[in-house]
Chains A and B, each alone.
Chain A
């Protein structure tokens, strides 16, 4: 797990899969129970059979999802849920780290520019001094070019994950539809 944390955001998914498969440390969830959601400060009501989506995370701006584990979850459905959980964790890690880096570097940039201008971080009234958009433009350009390769890698991973999850959703939906049709046929026959 420590190794996973050290990894760069873009490659995290591939390694995480390797780690979990090698260590066999996939978090086991009891059928019919909710995935562990203590860290999110919310538990969905017990009677609900759907996933729940929360407010945006303050670091990553992504909305966390608490997945419902049905008691009769099929292997395909389990694969889908785990893919979604993994994707969520990956995205959360990438964006939280990325946004924190952005804020930190922005502060450093503002500080260095203010110092160069001979100003303090806070002016006479105690308000935090800021630079205008034109002065910040250099920082934005720099930050974007510095993180370009990281973004390229993340993009590739994101597209792959998105397609995989959507395809799995399609398979699950099809399987459920066929199950329902078989049940209907059986009932009509009776």
Chain B
């Protein structure tokens, strides 16, 4: 076969080329690049080298060389609930002009130059036009072959790693607010267990929703939708995260936290996910799912489900409504077409009322915190401005019912929660004060002295 005969010259040239690059000491090119060179087949040549934040692809197609600069879009994606990619990836296509090898060419130009030489040596007419495989690119046919290099990225997207990070941080907030001495080991184990449980739940959620995700703009680039990973692998990954995660929580922390974690996974995957397509009550179930992690953090620290845990859970529960209802306001078309039962589509008035109601509830819950001895009275006072602001935006959303007010409310909710939790932590009532209050003199002071030592 002519194709087989043409195997050797490009590979030899590729080998020479790699040797030359190595000798010129271009350190940016990682080992993967070398590996890619060696496995390049005679029909297509794809090179990838890393240039700090950008990835440049030099591809051969239709006997033309083109260099495509594609900025990495992952870093600008919203950490919460995967916002629609409003800024599209910018593609810049440059035509590489032939550069005389006498000059000192830049690395990019030298690569393209070498490619031109190799290409002219190994030219095939029919197969190249037919087979166009690019490393990235939505419009191309791709081989469904899992590459180990891509696996971490794929699993990160499958487990919604950014959302998981947020969940772990709310659990950490719950742990931090608990009125007990800080135990680092317990904290780490609880955070790890919660993170693993969240990864498992998110993976199963994506496993259940493939055709629906394909039809919504917000979710159409998920790994299972794009065929980057098989459903079996997704389930195995979920199991391999969920089982150790819950085991870690049950055995390493305490059984109550483990039970809460398992219950949360069940609630999210088996209740919330199917309910999304059946009834608007899914939003309330989803709010409970969001409220459980801080409760888990608290129970991990104290070992019991106190009023404080429920209050923290209540704050997260109330927060979910302005956050989600505002977000869903702009997605009504996708929800309607995709068959999702959301308040914003079926009961728009209720949607806005509930959002406002829960913004106001946040003020009330913040006021309850000092009553339960979780924080000092400074907390409701300091948090009043931000709570009033989000309530104001909630009111505007209720009254105006337009896209602008919904977006304002949504973006406010993104910074409101971290700030509220931070203020709560700074206003945390030291458990030392509580001990002093309730204890007798003498020995209690001695005990207090002991605790005060670091």
Q: How far is the CB of A68 from chain B (nearest CB, A)?
A: 9
Binary contact readout A142-173 vs B (1 if CB under 8 angstroms, 0 otherwise): 01110110011011001100100110011001
Contact of A65 (CB < 8 Å), options: B130, B227, B278, B339: B227
Does B423 sit at the interface, judged by CB under 8 A? no
Residues of A within 8 A of B138 (CB): 55-56
* Cα-based distance from A62 to B211 in the complex (angstroms): 7
* Cα-based distance from A173 to B215 in the complex (angstroms): 30
Closest to A55 in B: B139
Question: Of the 9-residue stretches A22-30, A43-51, A177-185, which lies at the interface with chain B?
Answer: A43-51
Interface size on A, residues (CB 8 A): 47
Closest to B338 in A: A151
Contact: B232 with A166, CB < 8 Å? yes
Does A129 sit at the interface, judged by CB under 8 A? no
Which residue, of B231, B337, B401, B402, has the highest number of chain A Cβ atoms within 10 A?
B337
Residues of B within 8 A of A141 (CB): 336, 345-346, 348
Contact: B141 with A61, CB < 8 Å? no
Contact: B231 with A165, CB < 8 Å? yes
Which residue, of A140, A165, A170, has the highest number of chain B Cβ atoms within 10 A?
A140
Residues of B within 8 A of A124 (CB): none
Interface size on B, residues (CB 8 A): 43
Contact: A55 with B140, CB < 8 Å? yes
Work out how many contacts link A and B, with CB atoms closer than 8 A.
116
Contact of B208 (CB < 8 Å), options: A102, A134, A151, A159: A159
Contact: B336 with A51, CB < 8 Å? no
Contact: A147 with B346, CB < 8 Å? no
Binary contact readout A108-142 vs B (1 if CB under 8 angstroms, 0 otherwise): 00000000000000000000000001101101110
Does A8 sit at the interface, judged by CB under 8 A? no
Does B210 sit at the interface, judged by CB under 8 A? yes
Residues of B within 8 A of A52 (CB): 141-144
Instruction: Give chain A interface residues in 61-120, CB to chain B under 8 Å.
Output: 61-63, 65-66, 91, 95, 98-99, 102
Contact of B211 (CB < 8 Å), options: A54, A95, A144: A95
7 A/B residue pairs, CB under 8 Å, sorted by A: A95-B214, A102-B337, A140-B336, A144-B346, A152-B277, A165-B231, A166-B232
